């Protein structure tokens, strides 16, 4: 069996097990690190690592679909865990996707080897880039990086560090003295205490309406050791060179939630003995609209993945997919909650949890306002998929 097929078959089994524990998992307020260990045992962390460095990734043309399907399956069992897991491939893309730079190629290659090697040895990477007050705009990073011992020390406020406590490494941004824009850095979190004793203080534990078990905590960093990304250009260049693959992994989480929610609704109809004729007019219309929007969600994502497979990059399509799916997923969940009835308001129904979970889609990088500005700029290049006359 090919790597990808085996991975998906294992992840499907794991996700089914998680789905069977849905009630208990939806009530969780914290990430269980043993879940990450389970995913590691299945090799999910290796799916983002190039084959030449010991992983399963062949290229964006063939491997992104497998990556997205794995996250999507996982989200059917546990959306918080799927969202946390979608950060790692996004971060690996920073080292995997850019072409070798014309200067500093040897340092870049040495760092790639070290980063990919860490994953082969069992590391799992996340990101804590966001800063309070930045609105998710990396250009507004305020954290500082001071040189020290051949590396850097990072000081500043960071929040939304999904996977905290289970991630071995975290990618972040900070501004070096005299620089007018931030750079990417990464930090080893393996021995990090959260009490301020080694430069890291837990400021606000994650306490959210949705994606409740992601440990997306806020921290204060004070002279915390970090390594600068060896990319010689700007933070934006390397980010844009990823071609949208990271964003597609995040988006796959929300497809999985819609898969599970639509299936749940069908099962609920069956449990109630409802048939196509017994729904009231309003319910029929809401259900048809949810069905239509779910299909659009799938098509938006498929369009972006196919564009990536054809062209090797899909920034515009991935941005469109993310923004459209964020809107549509909220709409689908609203409709399903209405059809299900007042019971959906209770915590014994999974729908209210998913309703809150999908709201995260629009806040993930780039969050709503920045996503809209990016799409506005890209819109001047035309509509992907339009047929030239
Ligand atoms: C479930 C979830 C998981 C996430 N996981 C991660 C992750 O793993 N890693 C990560 O790095 N990020 C993560 N994010 C964060 C995400 O990528 C965005 O950065 C974040 O949602 C942006 O937050 P915000 O819009 O509330 O911005 P905030 O910075 O809180 O700002 C809110 C709004 O107020 C404005 N504002 C705030 N302060 C001021 C001020 N002083 N003056 C003027 N305007 C101000 C901002 O411009 C913005 O419009 C996650 C988000 C969610 C919801």
Q: What is the CATH number of domain 243-379?
A: 1.20.140.10
For ligand 1, which residues put their CB under 6 angstroms from it?
87, 126-130, 132-136, 160-162, 211, 214, 216, 360, 363-365, 367, 369
Expressed in angstroms and rounded, the spacing between residue 128 Cα and the centre of ligand 1 is: 11
Q: Which of 136, 213, 254, 322 to mutate to test the pocket of ligand 1 (most atoms within 8 A of CB)?
A: 136
C-alpha count within 13 angstroms, C-beta hemisphere, residue 73: 19
**From ligand 1's centre to the CA of 131, what distance in Å?**
7
The backbone region for 178, taken as left when phi is positive above 0, alpha when psi lies in -120 to 50, beta otherwise, is left
By C-alpha distance, which of 219, 237, 279 is closest to 104? 237
Atom of ligand 1 nearest to the CA of 158: 11
Nearest CA to ligand 1 atom 40: 133
Q: How far is the CA of 124 from the centre of ligand 1 (A)?
A: 23
What pTM, to 2 d.p., does this model score?
Answer: 0.96
Distance between Cα 288 and ligand 1 center (Å): 34
Residues 6+ apart with CB under 8 A from 330: 355, 358, 359, 361, 362
For residue 184, the CA-to-ligand 1 centroid distance in Å is: 18
User: 152-211: per-residue pLDDT in tens?
Assistant: 999 999 999 999 999 999 999 999 999 999 999 999 999 899 999 999 999 999 999 999
Q: Where are the beta strands (DSSP E) in the chain?
A: 125-127, 144-148, 151-161, 169-176, 183-188, 200-204, 217-228
Long-range CB contacts (< 8 A, 24+ apart) of 135-140? Answer: 135/367, 135/369, 135/370, 136/363, 136/365, 136/366, 136/367, 136/370, 137/370, 138/173, 138/182, 138/235, 138/236, 138/239, 139/181, 139/182, 139/236
For ligand 1, atom 43, name the residue with the nearest CA: 133
Residue owning the nearest CA to atom 44 of ligand 1: 133
In this structure, what token pair is assigned to residue 270?
């069956």
136: left (phi over 0), alpha (psi -120 to 50) or beta: left
Supply 230's token pair.
């060896």
Residue pair 53/113 in contact by the 8 Å Cβ criterion:
yes
107-118 pLDDT, tens digit each: 999 999 999 999
**CB neighbourhood size of 221 (10 A):** 25
For 181, the 3-state DSSP assignment is: coil
Task: Write down the CATH superfamily of domain 3-122.
Answer: Acyl-CoA dehydrogenase/oxidase, N-terminal domain (1.10.540.10)
Maximum CA extent, the chain: 73
Q: Do residues 164 and 119 make contact, with C-beta atoms less than 8 angstroms apart?
A: no
Enter the tokens of residue 277.
């004729």
Among 226, 233, 229, smallest CA distance to 111 is for 229
Q: What is the position in ligand 1's atom list of the atom closest to the CA of 359?
A: 53
Sign of CA dihedral 29, 32, 38, 43: positive
**CA of residue 136 to ligand 1 center, whole Å:** 4
* 3-state secondary structure (DSSP) of residue 185: strand
pLDDT in tens, 268-309: 999 999 999 999 999 999 999 999 999 999 999 999 999 999
Considering the domain 126-233 in this protein, what is its CATH number? 2.40.110.10
> For the chain, what are the domain ranges?
3-122, 126-233, 243-379
Distance CA 143, CA 126 (A): 18
Q: Tokens 């090919």 map to which residue?
A: 2
Q: What is the mean pLDDT of the chain?
A: 96
pLDDT in tens, 65-124: 999 999 999 999 999 999 999 999 999 999 999 999 999 999 999 999 999 999 999 999
Q: What is the pLDDT of residues 349-374, one digit of tens each?
A: 999 999 999 999 999 999 999 999 99
pLDDT of residue 1: 59
Pocket test for ligand 1, best of 83, 160, 373 (most atoms within 8 A of CB): 160
Q: Whose CA is nearest to atom 31 of ligand 1?
A: 135
Per-residue pLDDT at 315: 92
């Amino acid at each position: 069996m090919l790597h990808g097929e085996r991975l998906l078959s294992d992840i499907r089994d794991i996700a089914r097990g998680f789905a069977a524990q849905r009630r208990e998992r939806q009530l969780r307020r914290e990430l269980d690190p043993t879940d990450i260990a389970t995913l590691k045992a299945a090799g999910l962390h290796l799916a983002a690592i190039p084959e030449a460095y010991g992983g399963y990734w062949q290229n964006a043309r063939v491997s992104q679909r497998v990556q997205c399907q794995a996250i999507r399956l996982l989200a059917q069992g546990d959306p918080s865990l799927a969202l946390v897991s979608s950060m790692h491939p996004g971060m690996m893309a920073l080292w995997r996707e850019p072409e070798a730079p014309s200067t500093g190629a040897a340092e870049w290659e040495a760092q790639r080897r070290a980063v990919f090697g860490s994953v082969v040895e069992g590391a799992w990477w996340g990101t804590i880039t966001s800063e309070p007050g930045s609105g998710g705009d990396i250009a507004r990073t305020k954290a500082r990086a001071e040189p020290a011992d051949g590396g850097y020390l990072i000081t500043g406020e960071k929040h939304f560090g999904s996977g905290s406590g289970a991630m071995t490494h975290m990618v972040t941004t900070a501004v070096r003295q005299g620089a007018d824009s931030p750079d990417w850095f990464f930090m080893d979190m393996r021995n990090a205490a959260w009490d301020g004793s080694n430069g890291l203080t837990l400021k606000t534990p994650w306490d959210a309406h949705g994606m409740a078990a992601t440990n997306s905590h806020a921290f204060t960093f004070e002279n915390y050791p970090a390594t600068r990304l060896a990319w010689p250009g700007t933070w934006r260049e390397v980010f844009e060179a990823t071609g949208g693959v990271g964003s597609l992994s995040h988006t796959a989480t929300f497809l999985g939630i819609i898969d599970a929610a639509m299936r749940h609704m069908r099962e609920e109809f069956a449990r109630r003995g409802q048939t196509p004729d017994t729904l009231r007019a309003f319910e029929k219309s809401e259900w048809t609209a949810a069905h239509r929007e779910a299909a659009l969600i799938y098509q938006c994502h498929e369009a972006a993945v196919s564009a990536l497979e054809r062209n090797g990059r899909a920034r515009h399509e991935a941005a469109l997919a993310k923004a459209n799916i964020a809107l549509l997923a909220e709409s689908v969940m609203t409709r399903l909650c209405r059809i299900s009835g007042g019971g959906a308001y209770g915590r014994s129904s999974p729908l209210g949890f998913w309703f809150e979970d999908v709201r995260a889609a629009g806040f993930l990088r780039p969050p709503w306002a920045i996503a809209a500005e990016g799409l506005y700029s890209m819109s001047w290049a035309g509509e992907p998929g339009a047929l030239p006359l």
